[in-house]
Copies of this chain bind each other. A is one copy, B any other.
Amino acid sequence: MNNNCYLGIDCGGTKIAAAVFSQFGKIITDKTVFLEGTGGADAADLLCSLIKEYDDFCRHSELNLMSTGICIPGIVYHDSGKVWAPNIPGWDHYQLLDDIQKILPDIPVHLDSDRACYILGETWTGAAKGCHNAIFVAVGTGIGIGILADDRILRGHGDIAGATGWMALKPPYNKKYNDCGCFEYYASGDGIARTALEIISEMPEYTGVLKGTDIKAYDVFTAYKENDPVAKKTFKIVIELWGMAVANYVSLFNPQMIIFGGGVFGPAIQFIPDIKKEAEKWAQPISIKQVKICASSLGKNSGLYGAGRLAMINS
């Protein structure tokens, strides 16, 4: 036993969650603050005051704060310490690490993308605890994956690996995929609504609950429970694509665990057995037997735990 601990900060578009973790991934203390539209240097200052506060807390509690990890809702450029986070005003290639290090030169701080933090969190204390090769599929407004390969986050040449929303799954190419990629077009949260609307446009006889409304993924899930034919068709298409995506992760990465999370999983957890069945058709037959497919066990806290783990592995 020692008194080493690690500060994890999950920086979202609307709020910031922070927690001090023990070396075993237990939360010692935590809190949430709201961004309220803050961005740029003000958001960086807010992070610094949080870090300072917990640094003081640890000092007074006779805990050794070893390092801080911050989960960024976007991309982290590791060479420069710059971040790109579309939901935080002014964080477009913003010098976040520089800002923090100027104010707090003596506290080691590490940044990583949300998708990287999700898989770090789940392999630390969540559904993939102890796995060395695992993938987190974050399905929200968009789709991204966090990839842990032999205990290391896969980042790629320009720090943007894991952009699975752009996966090509349905030839021929259609210009409607231009803005978000083929897989995301159909199978993200927004994609579920888009797919339902496409089906409705081809079913003039349809008069169900989804007709003519400005629908969201949530509505399609609700309609599905009521056996709505458009919702049923929508999820048939989306489950096929989720299954193909899983098959591709399995064949390419040979992971031990694939974890679905994000706002859509949630309600789509009910489809995991169907996704698995679809993946089994397509995937490398030995690899598919080696993988477990399940839902996130940390839920909305994956990023927070991942930030704590990020601090720990870099200290």
Chain A residues close to B by CB (< 8 Å): 131-133, 145, 147, 149-150, 152, 154-173, 177, 181-182, 240-241, 243-245, 247-248, 251-256, 278, 281-287, 290-291
Once the chains bind, are B248 and A163 in contact (CB under 8 Å)? Answer: no
Copies of this protein in the assembly total 2
Once the chains bind, are A282 and B168 in contact (CB under 8 Å)? Answer: yes
Known: A150-B152, A240-B171, A283-B166. A157 touches B247 (CB 8 A): no
Q: Which of B156, B157, B255, B282 contacts A166 (CB 8 A)?
A: B282
User: Of A245, A251, A283, A286, which is in contact with the most chain B CB atoms at under 10 Å from its CB?
Assistant: A251
Sample 10 A-B pairs with CB under 8 A, ordered by A number: A147-B252, A154-B253, A156-B254, A158-B254, A158-B287, A166-B283, A167-B251, A168-B247, A181-B251, A181-B282
Neighbouring B residues of A159 by C-beta, 8 Å: 254
CB distance from A122 to the nearest CB of B (A): 15
When chains A and B are docked, how far (Å) is the Cα of A167 from the Cα of B169? 9
Neighbouring B residues of A162 by C-beta, 8 Å: 252, 254
Once the chains bind, are B152 and A254 in contact (CB under 8 Å)? Answer: no
Once the chains bind, are A251 and B169 in contact (CB under 8 Å)? Answer: no
Once the chains bind, are B171 and A287 in contact (CB under 8 Å)? Answer: no
Q: Which of B156, B158, B182, B255 contacts A157 (CB 8 A)?
A: B255
CB distance from A130 to the nearest CB of B (A): 12
Once the chains bind, are B254 and A161 in contact (CB under 8 Å)? Answer: yes
When chains A and B are docked, how far (Å) is the Cα of A28 from the Cα of B134? 42
Neighbouring B residues of A165 by C-beta, 8 Å: 251, 284
Once the chains bind, are B163 and A284 in contact (CB under 8 Å)? Answer: yes
